[in-house]
Structure 1
Amino acid sequence: MAEHKHGSMDITEQEKTFEGFVKMTIRTCIVILLVVLFLAIFRV
């Protein structure tokens, strides 16, 4: 097995993917909150 050196791996793609995941999660939560507010206000 090759020796692993901590911090030597390029993780830029993983960071971009995680950032996209966090953004999408926040947007989804906002949309869900807006839908819930709409339903609460107009009692649909």
Structure 2
Amino acid sequence: MASGNDMKMAEETYSGFIGLVKWGTILTAVVAVIVVLLIA
């Protein structure tokens, strides 16, 4: 079992990862819309 300190670090890492995934998804959607508009 992970100690309390390891668990805190894991939660911080997970939180950062989720943040990156969220902004990466938004950025990818914006770029896709721009590309579709350029092609149309």
TM-score, length of structure 2 as denominator length: 0.72
Deviations 1:1-44 (A, max 9, x none): x7xxxxxx42111000000011111000000000000011xxxx
Same amino acid, percent of matched pairs: 27
Q: State the alpha-carbon separation in 1 of the partners of residues 14 and 30 from structure 2.
A: 24
One-letter amino acid of the counterpart of residue 23, structure 1? W
Unaligned runs of 5+ in 2: 2-6
Equivalent residue pairs, number: 33
The structure whose residues are more often helix, as a share, is: 2
Query: Aligned-residue CA RMSD in angstroms?
Result: 1.2
Unaligned runs of 5+ in 1: 3-8
Compare CA radii of gyration and give the structure with the larger one.
1
Q: State the alpha-carbon separation in 1 of the partners of residues 28 and 20 from structure 2.
A: 12
